[in-house]
Chains A and B, each alone.
Chain A
């Protein structure tokens, strides 16, 4: 407002500038504001709580490392950590291998129009009643259920498959398959077709085309699929407690038990932060590998 020569024009310009700024803020700010308040602040609070203490069963603000010392010194925590990590990694690899032929079929065998329909049908279950689908597997897995009847028909023993790693894996696959299928199919469908044609014209054998051209080109998408399968399996706790029957004490179960049974908030916070740290490291390493330059 220092220029008095053209007061009307300056204030008009200034109004215009402010209006544009406010208009932009109206669209930019809402989501980050919501996420800061209801996502970043709660996670920050969790970090703070890991340094608090529990006095007379009441959570009290404090600055102590006792929860960290206690949890990191527990042998069964580390056993549970490696079990969780190993089981989820094994599931992620198995789910990726299981999904690959299907993704290949959608990308290279199906016509484009069919592919869209198949992709739609593959992702739809991701959003539907996960708990009920887990409950349903029980019918297939128990003694005298569908799977054991089939095994018996082929001369096997036909015992109940509940509480086995196979049951836990089925639970993980139920959760993660749709996501892995989408990522793999998009990665494969986007492999440059001219490279494939060129290799074929130069007489490359089908196996060489798959391993030397298609797989390396689709590597980022395939690796991200593996990563998401791991993330989802690692965080899952219903299959582990229900299909796995508590045989597999995983970290998410430990976290819920600590809070539900003992009000041990600081310890639960420490276990949660360990989980997040291991997830971040895994994600970081995987993404680096997925996008690394070809040597």
Chain B
């Protein structure tokens, strides 16, 4: 900040606002972690004791383990396909000028703005017609649609920092398109590709509406949570929550560390001056 910028309100006001927002964001997460170790069935402030029995219950629950394996399979395959498609689209947009470029970009950024309930409904109708409704393949096909835009954005951001003339220079010196890509573009983009993989994995791992609509009897973890939510108070949700938080928070924080490190300089005018 410019040292002579006088704030309209005292600094303490803005910092308090920041603290309030972080409290709202992290209170539910911390509370889930806390109550996952509670001995009581009903979460309350007067906890009677520490216990890991809910963990034991979740980890021996066959339905839950199957849901976990479904979730990991779907998220893994989704992340692979979405990252490949996202990188391809980002590279195409960076490297080539082609007919309909803007339209492709607009199409690629559209899925995150359509309500998931509507996407789920449309996809269930479509998958029923082509006979793959209720399979994990259907869930993957749908998750790639919502995850690929994130992968594309992350890769495109990184490519924007690569000198466009490097690749053409290599080709002028006789490098074939694929070897220029492999030797110059890929090494430069690798951190972003890794970040894209982790973020798309997290997006798929956490998605419940489309999985619920199109997955049929193949439950993923969030769908299992959703079904439990509609029933009784169940302390195992806190356990599942704690486990998912640790998985997805780790993935996302690693991904963000990579993305923010590489794009830090480009984000604000202040840092470059």
Asked whether A279 lies within 8 Å of B29 as measured between CB atoms, the reply is no
Band of interface residues on B: 35 or more
Asked whether B206 lies within 8 Å of A112 as measured between CB atoms, the reply is no
Residues of B within 8 A of A35 (CB): 107-108, 110-111, 145, 148
A78 to B61, alpha carbons, bound, how many Å? 44
A41 to B27, alpha carbons, bound, how many Å? 41
Q: Tell yes or no: A129 within 8 A of B by CB.
A: yes
Asked whether A27 lies within 8 Å of B88 as measured between CB atoms, the reply is yes
Asked whether A119 lies within 8 Å of B241 as measured between CB atoms, the reply is no
Please give me the residue from chain A that is nearest to B259 by CB atom: A120
Asked whether B17 lies within 8 Å of A102 as measured between CB atoms, the reply is yes
Please give me the residue from chain A that is nearest to B124 by CB atom: A259
Q: Tell yes or no: B18 within 8 A of A by CB.
A: yes
Asked whether B248 lies within 8 Å of A128 as measured between CB atoms, the reply is yes
Binding-face segment, B52-60, B114-122, B161-169, B186-194: B114-122
Residue interface mask B203-237, A partner, CB < 8 A = 1:
10010110000000000001001100110000001
Residue interface mask A42-84, B partner, CB < 8 A = 1:
1101100100000000000000000000000000000000000
A131-B226, A133-B29 known; A104 vs B145 contact (CB < 8 Å):
no
Q: Quote the shortest CB–CB distance from A152 to chain B (angstroms).
A: 12
Asked whether B267 lies within 8 Å of A34 as measured between CB atoms, the reply is no
Asked whether B108 lies within 8 Å of A177 as measured between CB atoms, the reply is no
Asked whether A42 lies within 8 Å of B122 as measured between CB atoms, the reply is yes
Q: Tell yes or no: B253 within 8 A of A by CB.
A: yes
Q: Tell yes or no: A255 within 8 A of B by CB.
A: yes
Residue interface mask A133-145, B partner, CB < 8 A = 1:
1111101100011
A45-B129, A127-B199, A238-B226 known; A132 vs B240 contact (CB < 8 Å):
yes
A106 to B85, alpha carbons, bound, how many Å? 34
Which positions 83-140 of chain A face chain B at CB distance < 8 Å? 98-102, 104-106, 108-109, 112, 115-116, 118-125, 127-137, 139-140
Asked whether A28 lies within 8 Å of B270 as measured between CB atoms, the reply is no
Asked whether B142 lies within 8 Å of A38 as measured between CB atoms, the reply is yes
A134 to B222, alpha carbons, bound, how many Å? 12
Q: Quote the shortest CB–CB distance from A146 to chain B (angstroms).
A: 7
Q: Tell yes or no: B252 within 8 A of A by CB.
A: yes
Q: Tell yes or no: B50 within 8 A of A by CB.
A: no
Residue interface mask B236-273, A partner, CB < 8 A = 1:
01101100110011011100110010001001111101
Which positions 6-28 of chain B face chain A at CB distance < 8 Å? 6-8, 11, 13-18, 20-22, 24-28
A149 to B44, alpha carbons, bound, how many Å? 11
Q: Tell yes or no: B173 within 8 A of A by CB.
A: no
Residues of A within 8 A of B88 (CB): 26-28, 30-31
Q: What does DSSP make chain A's interface, helix, strand, loop or mixed?
A: helix
Among B118, B123, B264: residue with most chain A CB under 10 A: B118
Residues of B within 8 A of A46 (CB): 118, 121-122, 125
Asked whether A27 lies within 8 Å of B92 as measured between CB atoms, the reply is yes
Please give me the residue from chain B that is nearest to A129 by CB atom: B244
Please give me the residue from chain A that is nearest to B222 by CB atom: A131
Asked whether B18 lies within 8 Å of A105 as measured between CB atoms, the reply is yes
Q: Quote the shortest CB–CB distance from A168 to chain B (angstroms).
A: 14
A91 to B2, alpha carbons, bound, how many Å? 33
Q: Tell yes or no: A24 within 8 A of B by CB.
A: yes
Q: Tell yes or no: A151 within 8 A of B by CB.
A: no
Asked whether A127 lies within 8 Å of B95 as measured between CB atoms, the reply is no
Asked whether A39 lies within 8 Å of B121 as measured between CB atoms, the reply is no
Asked whether A30 lies within 8 Å of B226 as measured between CB atoms, the reply is no
Asked whether A276 lies within 8 Å of B118 as measured between CB atoms, the reply is yes
Closest A-B pairs by Cβ, 10 of them: A101-B17, A235-B115, A132-B241, A136-B28, A42-B122, A31-B89, A42-B126, A105-B14, A27-B92, A102-B21
A residues with CB within 8 A of B:
20, 23-24, 26-28, 30-32, 34-36, 38-43, 45-46, 49, 98-102, 104-106, 108-109, 112, 115-116, 118-125, 127-137, 139-140, 144-146, 149, 170, 173-174, 177-178, 181, 186, 189-190, 192-193, 196-197, 200-201, 206-207, 209-211, 231, 234-235, 237-238, 242, 252, 255-256, 259, 265, 268-269, 272, 275-276, 279, 283
